[in-house]
Amino acid sequence: MKARVLVMVLDAFCSDMLSEKLTPNLKRFAREWTSVPAARSVFPSETRVCASSLASGCWPERHGITANYQFLPPDGRLFNSGLPEDLREWKKRLSEPALCVPPVPDLGRALAGAGRSLLTVAAASDGCCSLLDWDAAALGHTRLVVRTPSLCTPDGSHEDMVRAFGPVPAVREADGTYSPALMAYTVSVLLGRIDADMPDVALCWLPEPDMAGHLFGTRSMQHDRALSVIDEQCGRVMEWWEKKGRDQGWQLLFMADHGMDDADAQRDIPAALQAAGFETTVAEDGQAITAVMDGSTFRILNAASGHARLDGPCGEKPLRALIETLKPLCHDVFLADALLQRFPDPGVRPLSGARCSHALGPQIRFTLAGSDGNPGAPSGSVKIGFHGGCGKREMNPLLLAGGRLLRSRYESLKPSALPDIAPTVLTMLGVPVPERMQGRVLTELFADTGTL
């Protein structure tokens, strides 16, 4: 029978959030099928970076979306990859011949090349939803961005969705978390369209428990509630799967893009830069800092997982001053390899080792420190939960897989990471993996590797 694959992405669902009490459906699935408790995200563990790694099968060093917000050369304007117009410009820059980088593959294109189809139903940010199947319109795939009619393809598909499933419910609850009704609606659309279209691959993205974690922390009542809501929707998907999806050849993956951890300290980067002698300007929203010393200008993202870009001259004194300013506030400071060779520092890690070094990306990265390995937050932040850094919980997303092609009652202890998902999905379908995909096929999850 022809294999099909459904991938459910539960934003910021850390592997350790599985429990009998709050997520009994997912817990049961983990027991009965394959679980990968040591699954890893990519660094920086931010949503659009992860969405790009999931779709492309590549590390950020290759796909080039190396942050949610990034200062792009030559003028250092801050781009937001959550906005389609910024993302389009960013993608255009990534494809410029001057960068000498061949195009990056993705799941949608590989499937289309083999005459297979991809259905995307997503309720995440516009940028994230677009990245899941960037060329969906040109490839003839269906992409339903539940909240944004203009990003749905083919033309008229949002209207069709509303006709078939009713109007899109309110997106947020009064407390700022995504509404349970939005999750239920998204899953209804997914299951309805799977039945109607029978695609080869379906990709569904639910935006919680991410927001509940950011706003209230991962050990809050609101986060518990978000986990229960997500688990209930996953239970509906399992019910469909057990009743008929499995018999139709569907393999089922439940996964997350990254995890989440709670910050327990705030760090004041602008104050530290001023104390170190930088001439410092902070943008109104507090997110972008410009720090100048002796003719070197650093554009700094003031975030739990932050970075700095330098587009002019780089003097040794200002660079060392910036690094010495950041070190006491951070778990890790990374520096582009070329700069680290020029200015060696044993307390700084090479950016290439984190696999996110890119010509358009920042030359300096840092992760703010809380206590005991927890993330730190930028001063003044009202958020509690964070991801983006390389802390254990931030980098440990859920990964469960079940179906005829997959092992039952199996726990894989082998290392795996987000770029492995796309090549693994393609292999389950018998579609060739593009040569430039960097991920590994997770053959250890397969029930019988001889049949694949």
Q: Which residue from 439, 448, 429, 450 is spatially nearest to 202, judged by alpha carbons?
A: 429
Is 257 among the residues that bind Zn ion (CB under 5 A)?
Answer: yes
Q: Could you tell me the smallest distance in angstroms from the CB atom of residue 284 to Zn ion?
A: 26
Q: Which is nearer to Zn ion, 129 or 269 (CB)?
A: 129
Which is closer to Zn ion, CB of 46 or CB of 200? 46
Q: Which is nearer to Zn ion, 124 or 321 (CB)?
A: 124
Angle, vertex CA 88, rays to CA 301 and CA 157, nearest 5: 125
Min dist CB 112 to Zn ion, Å, is 26
Interface mask toward Zn ion for 31-70; x: CB under 5 A: ----------------x-----------------------
User: Six-digit token pair at 31?
Assistant: 């027991």
Q: Is there binding between residue 11 and Zn ion (CB under 5 A)? A: yes
Point out which span in 9-17, 68-76, 168-176, 436-444 binds Zn ion (CB under 5 A): 9-17
Q: What is the distance between the alpha carbons of residues 122 and 436, in angstroms, rounded to a whole number?
A: 26
Closest-by-Cβ residue to Zn ion is 47
The minimum distance between CB 239 and Zn ion, in angstroms, equals 26
Stretch that binds Zn ion, among 4-12, 14-22, 301-309, 311-319 (CB under 5 A): 4-12
Site string for Zn ion, 80-119 (x = CB under 5 A): ----------------------------------------
From 253-261, 354-362, 375-383, 390-398, span contacting Zn ion (CB under 5 A):
253-261
12 vs 187, which CB is nearer to Zn ion? Answer: 12
Contact between residue 48 and residue 243 where contact means Cβ atoms under 8 Å apart? no
Pairing, β 266-267 against β 377-378: parallel
Q: Are 385 and 261 in contact (CB under 8 A)?
A: yes
Contacts 24+ apart (CB under 8 A), 347-351: 347/323, 348/323
Question: In 5-156, which ranges are continuous DSSP H helix?
Answer: 24-32, 47-56, 60-63, 84-94, 107-113, 126-132, 136-139
Nearer to Zn ion, 49 or 237 (CB): 49
Q: Convert 140-178 to b/e letters by CB count within 10 Å (16 or more is b).
A: ebbbbbbbbeebbbeeebbeebeeebeebeeeebeeebb
Asked if residues 206 and 143 have their Cβ atoms less than 8 Å apart, the reply is no
Shortest reach from residue 12's CB to Zn ion, in Å = 5
Is the CB of 12 or the CB of 291 nearer to Zn ion?
12
What letters, b where the CB count within 10 A reaches 16 and e where it falls short, cover 331-351?
bbbbbbeebbeeeeeeebbeb
Of the pair 11, 86, the CB lying nearest Zn ion is at: 11
**Smaller CB separation from Zn ion, 127 or 318:** 127
Shorter beta-carbon distance to Zn ion: residue 121 or 322: 121
- Considering only CA atoms, which of 400, 10, 35, 408 is closest in space to residue 232? 10
Residue 9: strand, helix, or coil: strand
Task: Give min distance, CB of 104 to Zn ion, in A.
Answer: 20
Q: Which is nearer to Zn ion, 186 or 427 (CB)?
A: 186
Q: Nearer to Zn ion by C-beta: 106 or 394?
A: 394
Site for Zn ion in 179-218 (CB under 5 A): none
Minimum CB distance to Zn ion, residue 257 (Å): 4
The backbone torsions φ and ψ at residue 410, rounded to the nearest 5 degrees and listed phi first, read -135, 135
Is 224 a binder of Zn ion (CB under 5 A)? no
Burial of 359-382, coded b for 16+ CB within 10 Å and e otherwise, reads: ebbbbbbbbbbbeeebbbbbbebe
Q: How far is the CB of 117 from Zn ion (least distance, A)?
A: 26
Kindly state the number of chain residues that form the binding site for Zn ion, as judged by CB under 5 A.
4
CA 408, 411, 415, 417 torsion-angle sign: positive
Least Å distance, CB 379 to Zn ion, is 24
Report the C-alpha gap between 54 and 451 in whole angstroms.
25
| Selected range binding Zn ion among 90-98, 141-149, 174-182, 255-263, rule: CB under 5 A | 255-263
From 12-20, 113-121, 270-278, 403-411, span contacting Zn ion (CB under 5 A): 12-20
Element (H, E) at 323: helix 316-326
Structure tokens at 18: 């599985």
Q: Output the smallest distance, CB 378 to Zn ion, in A.
A: 19
Q: Which residues bind Zn ion (CB under 5 A)?
A: 11-12, 47, 257
